[in-house]
Amino acid sequence: MSNFPKGFILGLISGSAVGSLIALLYAPDKGANTRDKISYRLNNYIDELSQLIDRLQHENSFVSDAKKEGDQVVEEAQKRAEDLISEAEKLLENIGDSRKK
């Protein structure tokens, strides 16, 4: 069952490729015009993909920076919590010692 999505996507891609090739064979336009259109669209897709990759890299660095800052906040909160716990323990000891006297 885990291979189903992989096989489905592979089938979808290969079916699209075969359909595109058949459409090109029966296209009413000249071969040179069709190749130019394909080249133009391919270049546009490559540009869009490049922009998307750049945007994802930028967002990834942003997420990485945010994670570092979040980790620092957590560390500081843990340190403060430990300090508060140790102060509370000392106060409880002092209260216990004063009751004994």
| Residue range of the domain that includes 48 | 29-100
Asked if the structure places residue 19 within a domain, the reply is no
- Residue 14 belongs to a domain: no
Retrieve residue 4's tokens. Answer: 């189903």
pLDDT digits (tens, 9 = 90+) for 37-49: 878 888 888 989 8
Q: What is the model's pLDDT at position 79?
A: 92
Angle at 11 between CA 43 and CA 24, to 5 degrees: 45
Task: For tokens 């058949």, name the residue.
Answer: 22
Looking from the CA of 76 toward its CB, the CA atoms found within 13 Å total 6
- pLDDT of 1 strictly over 60: no
The total number of structural domains in the chain stands at: 1
83 domain residue, yes or no: yes
Query: What pLDDT is recorded for position 63?
Result: 78
Distances (CA, A) of 4 to 7, 8, 26, 74: 5, 6, 33, 41
Ramachandran quadrant class, 30 (left: phi over 0; alpha: psi -120 to 50; beta: rest): beta
Query: Residue 80: pLDDT band by 50, 70, 90 thresholds?
Result: very high
The answer to whether position 15 is within a domain reads no
Q: Is residue 3 part of a domain?
A: no
What are the tens digits of pLDDT across the range 16-74?
888 887 887 777 777 788 778 878 888 888 989 889 888 888 887 777 888 888 889 88
In this structure, is residue 73 part of a structural domain?
yes
Cα→Cα distances 91→81, 85, 94, 97, 100, Å? 15, 10, 5, 10, 14
